[in-house]
A and B are shown apart, each in its own frame.
Chain A
Amino acid sequence: MRVSELNSAVDSYKINQASLKAEADSKTYFGFWVYLMTDCVLFASLFATFAVLHANTFNGPSAHSLFSLPYALAETLILLTSSFTCGLAILAAQNKAKRLVLFWLLITFLLGLAFLVLEFREFANFVNQGDSWRRSGFLSSYFTLVATHGLHITIGLLWIGTMMFQVLKKGLNRITVRQLTLMSLFWHFLDLIWIFIFSVVYLISGGLNI
């Protein structure tokens, strides 16, 4: 085999590998979008449950008497900000700025954690008042819907944590950037779900008692 032939063979191999990798990325993104859609259906079912049960207070407290809008608004703002900082992390990743990525990831993580703490405190408050998920169908559906979102946030935090660890160790290669992108999709998705929770649970069902 002549050198030129060999070179072109090597080139075509490289092109082949590059297109294979692009294909692998594209199917991972696609699969993840399909997953997010199934998660959407999952939350839709929980929203439907809440819609059916929100008036079934069984002589217990109603949404109106229970929720404090400013508190929920604080949670919302924190989560929205975390979505923004998560976007900044992705922007930094595209610019190959590793330390900046780590910084924004850390901020996102802390904001997520703060959200979770606030949510936990709200739950603890209700339970201490005797208004736990056992009290009524309404409270069962409230706790389950919000806690399922909280569970997703917990998984998200775990993911952010491992991403920070991976970026620290491996730098910004194709795989870590891909995982970062997926993670940010997940995080934005959770933000979107929260907007719905805020609107349906706290605003509409809570009756705008500012």
Chain B
Amino acid sequence: MSTKRKILIIALPVLVVIGLLIVFLSQHNVPVLTPAGTIAAQERNLFVFALILAAFVVIPVYSLTILIALKYRESNKKARYEPNWDHSRVLETIWWGIPMAIIAVLSVVTWTSSHALDPYKPIASVHSTINVEVVSLDWKWLFIYPNQSVASVNQLAIPVNHPVHFYITSDTVMNSFWIPSLGGQIYAMPGMMTQLNLEASKLGSYYGSSANISGKGFAGMHFEALSLNYQAFSSWLHKLSQSRLSLNIANYKKLARPSEYNPVAYYKDPADNLFSDIINQYMTGAKL
């Protein structure tokens, strides 16, 4: 087989795969790459930047591998053969140097982005910030709106272009709170509070889930995150406040019992300090 044909045999499937990939990606929603939130957009940009930087290593490695493998194959007797040529200070300095330079650049980016995109850092905005208390339960998500005195299960609504400050804990094992369209995740842990700041920049309904295994009903522990305009958000809150159920301690305890693929549910009037009481159970042993 000629070398040309060999190259063709390898190159053709690669091209076909790339073609299929483009078709697939154009027809499907890939939230990490097509974000709907300001944080997710910055994280996507960082992803693309790091990928391009990495190409400075990948492309030389791949082309060198192919070229060297073709040229110095045993059957090619024309190629130079130097069995004892085994070091070169210049060359080795180059390939200690190049990765070091790339990592140096990436380190600076890492340092600044870790601070800029710190999940605990509130988002500066002209619009008011919405506070949401998130509790992971067996196996559903509870969202408490402390200022609006309503709560929902497996459905989150936020007003578009408003910063949202999430306070997160768990009343069961560890989970991870993740809405890929809006931005990165953070763990939900019993007895502890973590925080996350996100902001939706587009209207829509987005997929949210737990990214950390939490037991039998874990796969069903996903929720809908609605990004609404402020009016729709207000009427959504109003709908919740009209709910028959109030989230008093008794109803909370009922809700906290394990259940799988829990339907969306709305509650009014969550008990005072419910969120901190949930955390305190694990800190001091105080019962709810």
Contacts and interface: CB of A to CB of B under 8 A. Distances in A.
A–B: direct contact at CB < 8 Å: yes
Interface string B276-288: 0000000011000
A59 B285 CA distance: 9
Contacts of A58: 284-285
Contacts of B285: 58-59
Interface residues of B, number: 2
Interface in B237-288: 284-285
A4 to B, nearest CB: 47
A45 to B, nearest CB: 22
Contacts of A59: 284-285
A20 B73 CA distance: 47
B24 to A, nearest CB: 47
Contacts of B284: 58-59
Nearest to B282: A58
Interface in A31-69: 58-59
Nearest to A58: B285
B189 to A, nearest CB: 15
A58 B285 CA distance: 8
A59 B281 CA distance: 13
A58 B284 CA distance: 6
Nearest to A136: B285
A16 B284 CA distance: 69
B43 to A, nearest CB: 31
A62 to B, nearest CB: 15
A53 B284 CA distance: 14
A37 B284 CA distance: 39
A2 B285 CA distance: 90
Interface in A50-93: 58-59
A30 B54 CA distance: 44
Nearest to B286: A59
A35 to B, nearest CB: 36
Interface in A134-162: none
A58 to B, nearest CB: 6
A12 to B, nearest CB: 38
A20 B285 CA distance: 64
Interface string B51-80: 000000000000000000000000000000
Nearest to B283: A58
A34 B284 CA distance: 43
In the complex, the 4 A-B pairs of residues with the closest C-beta atoms, listed nearest first: A59-B284, A58-B285, A59-B285, A58-B284
4 contacts: A58-B284, A58-B285, A59-B284, A59-B285
